[in-house]
Amino acid sequence: MRPAAPLALLLAAMPAWSQVCVPTSSGGRAYRPAMTHRGQGPTAEGISVATLQAWSPPDGVEDERVRARDAAIDPREERSVTLEADLWRVKVGDDGCALRLELAATRAGNDSPHVVAVIPSGEGYDAARAAIWAAVGRQARRRPGRVDLAAPVHVRLTGRLFWDGEQWCPESPARGCGRRAEVVASLWELRPVWRVEVTGAAEPVPVEREGDDTTGHHRHHRHHHRRHRDEAPARER
């Protein structure tokens, strides 16, 4: 199957309850909450995964007060953009609703560097979250904590540019030192994302993961095992 329907067609096929998510908690202390829940901006321009990965941090972010400022700290954060990329991973936020997406450049593969896009909790983002769950083949009432895809879903996301200074560190100022820093190659993100379009992909095969994210040797072993599994003859699941 090759899903090529725009967002409106995806949503028309889903019951109304699948578009609503009630946060189960506040998700703890929010980082720059006004910036991460902004409304739709001016006309969006296209941007690439490679551009996000190549950008340097904003000026002055060595100062913690700059990183914590809940307003634009760089002119780039004022821009609305559209990103086309391959979706490889979906993780539910601490509040039970927000979605953290990891994406790679089109046809670059899951082992290539990722960038992040976030669809926050809130009424204005329900349609975008529902479109992601439909694209990865999960009903809203059966949400796992995390879905790693064996085959990518090609998506077009529209949202605001955002620099995630919460993950910044002086040892790696462009990439940060967060838990997924070995995979995510930039602190520049799309956040919030308010529009999701599925533009075509092979049928996704979600692989649900439990517990904490794996890193280092364990992540290498996981990819090694997945590669051998994918090379095996296809079988019914």
Q: Is residue 11 part of a domain?
A: no
Name the E strands within the chain. 45-47, 80-92, 99-104, 115-119, 146-163, 188-200, 206-208
Q: Is residue 158 part of a domain?
A: yes
Q: Is residue 42 part of a domain?
A: yes
User: What tokens were used for 18?
Assistant: 């699948």
Note down pLDDT in tens along the chain; length 237 residues.
444 444 433 433 343 334 568 777 655 678 999 999 998 887 899 999 999 999 999 999 999 999 999 999 999 999 999 999 999 999 999 888 999 999 999 999 999 999 999 999 988 899 999 999 999 987 545 557 899 999 999 999 999 999 999 999 999 999 999 878 999 999 999 999 999 999 875 454 455 554 445 434 344 444 444 444 444 333 333
Residues of the domain holding 188: 32-227
- CATH code for the domain of 153: 2.40.50.140
Q: Is residue 92 part of a domain?
A: yes
Number of domains composing the chain: 1
Verdict on whether the full-model pTM lies above 0.75:
yes
Q: Is residue 3 part of a domain?
A: no
How far apart, in whole angstroms, are the C-alpha atoms of residue 137 and residue 147?
10
Q: Is residue 219 part of a domain?
A: yes
Burial 175-199 (b: 16+ CB within 10 A, else e): bbebebbebbbbbbbbbbbbbbbbe
Q: Is residue 9 part of a domain?
A: no
Q: Is residue 146 part of a domain?
A: yes
